[in-house]
Amino acid sequence: MSEKTDEIEPVTLSLTYFVLLFFVMAWVSLFPSVLFGYWFFITFPFSFNPIYLLSLIPLFFALYGIALLSSLIFTKLGIWIIHKRITYPEVGTYRVSMDEPQTRAFMIKINIRSFGRWLYYFFHLKFLRAFWMRQQGVKIGKNVKLAKYIEDEEFQEFGDNTYMAKSVGFSGHMMDNEYLVVTETIVGKNCIFEHLSGGVGATIGDNSVFRELTGAMKGYVCRGNAIYQGIPCKKIGEYSDLSPAEIEEVKQKIREKDKTNYIKRKNAPIKISGAKLFTMKLLIVIGGCLFALLFLYLYSILFQAFYSPTNHLLNIAFLTLVPFIFIITLGFFSVGTTLFTKIFLAYYDHKAEIPEGYYELDDPRAKIFKIKYLLRLFGLRLFRAMPFKVGDTFVMRFWGNVTFGNYIVIENAIVDPQYLELGDNVVMAAGARIHTHDIIKGKLYIKKVKIGKNSILGGCCHIKPGVELPARSIVAAAAWFRKNRKCKRPALWMGKPAFELPLIALTGSTGIKKKVVDDKYDKAQAQREIKKKKIKI
């Protein structure tokens, strides 16, 4: 994004086209499973025999496996057609315009992959996720522990025995409101990445250790056999400084943090009834199931009315609707959970208004705030578990207490879904965090966060309550804003705490210039910085 840009036209997409493409991919992925299920129940009529009921378990996995295989085949076929008809992917910088072949191909491939990705990721099985990513062009070595925020796209490579914390992020592209930058990200063997670290467009050598809050920028070359810290990353030590026991200690620390529920821990001082909250969550799920079953019941009545025991072609003709019925049923489930969440939120809204400010932890309003906050998060989690999580902004608008503009992308970010104001064209990278509340000195503090239009939030950045960013702000990956920070003018923000750089620093940065991090390594200076910052090696 350049300094001179005042108004940015968002990339024009045909919503109808992408919705139709999504439904086509869903249909071709699911219909083979529908045919196999139809054959099974025709050949083996339903019975309440215990053995028959047990056979339904392997049947489910067989149907799921067929759907996985079908989605993979047709996803690869669709991408092959794009490469033939539009363009093959190439490293470079491209305008965000559907008139640009590379951008158009990139956007369509995201949509083609979306349903297959949802199928492969649904049960959170690591081997399925790794298999899917390999098939999409990501090169993954043996015994690699993958992070949550890794894009399934070309030009990424991860060497054997690489170990990542869950919150690590890697990508083969960067994108703002003006440019799409496709770049290579290469990670060597035996690398370790602690929490909130990662890189885009960097080359990281073997035996590299990235400490917490460390990022390799576009074009950076880390030669390896070293320890790196900071954003942009700097070499602070040698890999040989770590004994095998210390390396295992780092991995153990990663495992412990991966298991930590930070949302639960942050809000733990506010005591509420766990049984009451669980009951409301259960009712939300039941409400969603009732909506879904109602739609399925209507379809079953229609199918039974036209079902013919002898005319299988007619039956199969009606079964062609089943993939669409499946997607619509998931939609009804999401509608039901959203409505029931809204009912509970409206009930607590009626009990008490909660303006911004400080509250004692035993204040009834603090307890109501926590209940509403956790209900919103639970409802969002259910919605994002469905294959159309891109619509999460509509859900948050429906629940209220947020102000959103148009063309906002949040889906893989972690935000407090209340006391939040986002302008038009705000884009958040995976793992970006916005906190509109915190517990400070034994009190609950609530303050609205405001992000101006055409702003971009990098991966794993942290924005605390009360922060205000003007239009056209760019927040670098893992930048950290303290509470109530009021930023006056558009700028590039990076570091912890975030410091300001002029947007002109980005002018011409769309190219890829190599920078060897290790060349500036001064061991004595690094040791002084380690001692000053109390960085443990």
Q: Is the pLDDT of residue 250 over 70?
A: yes
Beta strands in 149-267 (DSSP E): 149-150, 156-158, 163-164, 169-171, 173-175, 179-182, 185-187, 192-193, 198-200, 203-204, 208-210, 215-216, 220-222, 226-229, 234-238
How much is the pLDDT for 31?
Answer: 96
Among residues 76, 85, 67, 203, which one has the least CA distance to residue 152?
Answer: 76
168 with 243, same domain: the answer is yes
How much is the pLDDT for 519?
Answer: 72
458 with 489, same domain: the answer is yes
How much is the pLDDT for 375?
Answer: 96
Amino acid at 108: I
The sheet that has 226-229: what strands, in order across it?
A: 163-164, 192-193, 208-210, 226-229, 234-238
414 with 452, same domain: the answer is yes
Q: Which two tokens stand for residue 400?
A: 């209220």
The reply to whether 141 falls in a domain is yes
The reply to whether 478 falls in a domain is yes
CA distance linking residue 436 with residue 42, whole number of Å: 56
76 vs 309, residue with greater confidence: 76
User: How many structural domains compose the chain?
Assistant: 3
Banded model confidence at residue 495, pLDDT cuts 50, 70, 90:
confident
Residue with tokens 């998060």: 377
**DSSP symbol at 451:** E
226 with 289, same domain: the answer is no
The reply to whether 161 falls in a domain is yes
CA distances from 402 to 22, 296, 372, 487 (A): 29, 33, 14, 20
**CB 67, CB 132: distance < 8 Å:** no
The pairs formed by 396-403 with CB atoms below 8 angstroms and a separation of 24 or more are 396/420, 398/338, 398/342, 399/338, 399/341, 399/342, 399/345, 400/345, 400/349
How much is the pLDDT for 522?
Answer: 67
3-state secondary structure string across 55-122: HHHHHHHHHHHHHHHHHHHHHHHHHHHHHHHCCCCCCEEEECCCCCHHHHHHHHHHHHHHHHHHHHHC
The reply to whether 99 falls in a domain is no
175 vs 143, residue with greater confidence: 143
pLDDT digits (tens, 9 = 90+) for 277-319: 999 999 999 999 999 999 888 888 888 888 778 888 888 888 8
Q: At what angle do helices 15-43 and 101-121 cross, to 10 degrees?
A: 30
How much is the pLDDT for 299?
Answer: 85
285 with 318, same domain: the answer is yes
Average pLDDT of the segment spanning 69-87? 94
Q: Is the pLDDT of residue 378 over 90?
A: yes
Among residues 105, 83, 84, which one has the least CA distance to residue 96?
Answer: 105
CB atoms within 10 A of CB 413: 20
The enclosing domain of 310 has a CATH number of 2.160.10.10
Average pLDDT of the segment spanning 239-265? 93
Q: Is the pLDDT of residue 168 over 80?
A: yes
The reply to whether 322 falls in a domain is yes
346 with 282, same domain: the answer is yes
How much is the pLDDT for 413?
Answer: 87
Domain of residue 531, residue span: 137-260+510-537
CA distance linking residue 306 with residue 61, whole number of Å: 29
How much is the pLDDT for 339?
Answer: 97
Residue 43, burial from CB neighbour count under 10 angstroms (0-12, 13-18, 19+):
exposed
How much is the pLDDT for 364?
Answer: 94
CA distances from 491 to 60, 102, 477 (A): 53, 28, 14
The reply to whether 338 falls in a domain is yes
Q: Which two tokens stand for residue 449?
A: 């966060």
User: Which of 14-18, 35-39, 92-96, 416-420 is least confident?
Assistant: 14-18
Banded model confidence at residue 275, pLDDT cuts 50, 70, 90:
very high
- Angle 149-155-160 from CA coordinates, rounded to 5°: 70
Could you tell me the sign of the dihedral formed by the alpha carbons of 340, 342, 344, 346, in that order?
negative
447 with 527, same domain: the answer is no
How much is the pLDDT for 3?
Answer: 42
How much is the pLDDT for 8?
Answer: 42
Average pLDDT of the segment spanning 161-185? 88
How much is the pLDDT for 254?
Answer: 96
Banded model confidence at residue 251, pLDDT cuts 50, 70, 90:
very high
CA distances from 504 to 14, 487, 531 (A): 33, 17, 34
CB atoms within 10 A of CB 361: 15
Query: Helix, strand, or coil here: 474?
Result: strand
- Average per-residue pLDDT for the chain: 89
Beta strands in 268-371 (DSSP E): 357-360
Banded model confidence at residue 532, pLDDT cuts 50, 70, 90:
low
How much is the pLDDT for 535?
Answer: 45
Banded model confidence at residue 338, pLDDT cuts 50, 70, 90:
very high
CA distance linking residue 114 with residue 137, whole number of Å: 15
Amino acid at 509: S
Helix, strand, coil share (%) of the chain residues, nearest 5: 45, 20, 35
Q: Which two tokens stand for residue 530?
A: 């380690």
Q: Is the pLDDT of residue 320 over 80?
A: yes
317 with 432, same domain: the answer is yes
How much is the pLDDT for 345?
Answer: 96
The reply to whether 3 falls in a domain is no
Report the range out of 11-20, 376-385, 499-508 with the highest average pLDDT. 376-385
Q: What is the largest CA-CA distance in the chain?
A: 84
CA distance linking residue 372 with residue 320, whole number of Å: 41
How much is the pLDDT for 185?
Answer: 95
Q: Is the pLDDT of residue 1 over 50?
A: no
CA distance linking residue 173 with residue 175, whole number of Å: 7
399 with 468, same domain: the answer is yes
How much is the pLDDT for 131?
Answer: 95
The enclosing domain of 521 has a CATH number of 2.160.10
Q: Is the pLDDT of residue 84 over 80?
A: yes
315 with 441, same domain: the answer is yes
Q: Which H or E run contains 445? A: strand 443-446
Among residues 339, 340, 329, which one has the least CA distance to residue 284?
Answer: 340
CA 503 to the chain's CA centroid: 27
495 with 519, same domain: the answer is no
Q: Which H or E run contains 480? A: strand 480-481
319 vs 343, residue with greater confidence: 343
Banded model confidence at residue 145, pLDDT cuts 50, 70, 90:
very high
333 with 215, same domain: the answer is no
Average pLDDT of the segment spanning 5-30? 73
Q: Where are the alpha helices (DSSP H) in 361-401?
A: 364-384, 392-399
Banded model confidence at residue 486, pLDDT cuts 50, 70, 90:
very high
447 vs 311, residue with greater confidence: 447
Percent of the chain with pLDDT over 90: 61
Q: Is the pLDDT of residue 514 over 80?
A: no
The reply to whether 102 falls in a domain is no
Instruction: Please count the residues of the chain.
Output: 537
Query: Helix, strand, or coil here: 427?
Result: strand
Banded model confidence at residue 193, pLDDT cuts 50, 70, 90:
very high
